[in-house]
Amino acid sequence: MPSQNLRGKPTGAAQRRPKSAFFPAEIAPTSRPRQTGITHVLDRLQRLTSEDLAEFAPYIDVAKLGWGLPLLLPRERVRERIRAYHDYGVEVSTGGTLLEYAMRQDRALDFLDEAHELGFDIVEISNGILDLSRAQMERIAEEIQRRGLQFFIEVGKKDVQAQLSLKETLDQVAWARAQHPRKVILESRESGRSVGIYDSEGAVKWDWVRSILGEHPMEELIFEAPAEGQQMALLRQLGSDVNLGNVALGSIAPLASERLGLRGETFGAVRAHREIAGPPAAKFLYYLLETYRGVDQSELVRLSRLPRRTVQSAIESLRTQGLVEESVSLGDSRRREYRLL
């Protein structure tokens, strides 16, 4: 009796030979720098071989040598580590704590000169520990660019007792974007608890995320997400192209599989990238409608916390693009509900 395939059809020797390999012979080249779907990893100076980088580099965009750790190595070892990342097309960033330490020592310009000479690509500007003024941070940004480097600006405080309010966070993100950084980073610390968009248990505060994305485009932000559960939650709600930061080196492969929907938690649940034009509010409502299907304008206003006129304008933008349809509610003919097409 001839053997059968998984669909119950007979198979012959020729049929058993696949037309194309199921497992890839090699990983497709990575085009960088990516604007979305960025994976920003935290390098804690653990052992890292060339073989490790060869396997993981296609899934890394930026490696941050965290905190003040570069000061624990001889400068040539720092240079070698940066060069190792560069050999595989990965950019390297300093951590914001290192800049704040240099500011405290009144040696910020020395730090920037040496960071450039050692091969760093990006300097992270933060005031997570020190209360740096905006004027100070603006001057630092100018000095960074004068040296041919790029910069991130991180928003948030590290002390759980001195956290910013949502209003302060929105204000600081707006100011940071106005400085034209490479990206704005939302602080979480390595613990991912009681800081920024995370509560004391490490769960995402979705009202904060919705408010932030209601005013600021997702592609300009990096959400620090040190825990794999946080990464999965943000991917499920915001899509595979969300930028994630402070990812542990050991979480690179799991995160890459989640972005592709190759894990049980995200299998079939992570949306594919879809170009959405219009203001940030339109993109935000699109993400909401992926989760909440068949909702009316009042519900969208409540969920997004956006003004009704902003919601109406965003819905019209999505309808014009052919992304959303309006229909009469089956439960109440007076209501108009919105769904993604």
The most distant pair of C-alpha atoms in the chain lies apart, rounded to whole Å, by 82
Q: Which residues contact 208 (CB under 8 A, 6 or more apart)?
A: 166, 169, 196, 197
Q: Which residues contact 165 (CB under 8 A, 6 or more apart)?
A: none
Tell me the CATH number at 153.
3.20.20.70
Length reported for the chain? 341
The predicted structure's pLDDT at residue 191: 86
Question: pLDDT, tens digit, for every residue of 254-298?
Answer: 999 998 888 766 665 555 556 778 888 888 888 778 767 678 888
**Does one domain contain both 168 and 218?**
yes
Q: Which residues contact 28 (CB under 8 A, 6 or more apart)?
A: none
- In 194-271, which ranges are continuous DSSP H helix? 206-215, 228-238, 252-259
**Does one domain contain both 200 and 303?**
no
Question: pLDDT, tens digit, for every residue of 190-204?
Answer: 888 999 999 999 999
324-328 and 39-43 strand pairing: unpaired
Map residue 295 onto helix, strand or coil.
strand
pLDDT over 90 at 29, yes or no: no
**Does one domain contain both 128 and 238?**
yes
Q: Which residues contact 320 (CB under 8 A, 6 or more apart)?
A: none
In terms of pTM, does the model score above 0.85?
no
**Does one domain contain both 243 and 328?**
no
pLDDT cut 90: percent of the chain above it: 57
Find the range with the poorest average confidence among 29-33, 116-120, 290-294: 290-294
CA angle 76, 80, 84 (to 5 degrees): 170
**Does one domain contain both 103 and 52?**
yes
Stated as kind and residue range, the H or E segment containing 308 is: helix 308-320
Q: Are 282 and 298 in contact (CB under 8 A)?
A: no
More confident residue, 31 or 309: 309
Q: Which of 228, 259, 290 is the last residue of a domain?
A: 259
Tell me the CATH number at 304.
1.10.10.10
Residue 143 phi/psi, 5-degree rounding, is -65, -35
Domain contains 270:
no
Domain contains 55:
yes
Domain carrying residue 43: 39-259
The residues facing 237 across adjacent strands are none
Map residue 5 onto helix, strand or coil.
coil
The predicted structure's pLDDT at residue 74: 96
**Does one domain contain both 57 and 201?**
yes
Tally of structural domains, the chain: 2
**Does one domain contain both 247 and 287?**
no
The predicted structure's pLDDT at residue 10: 56
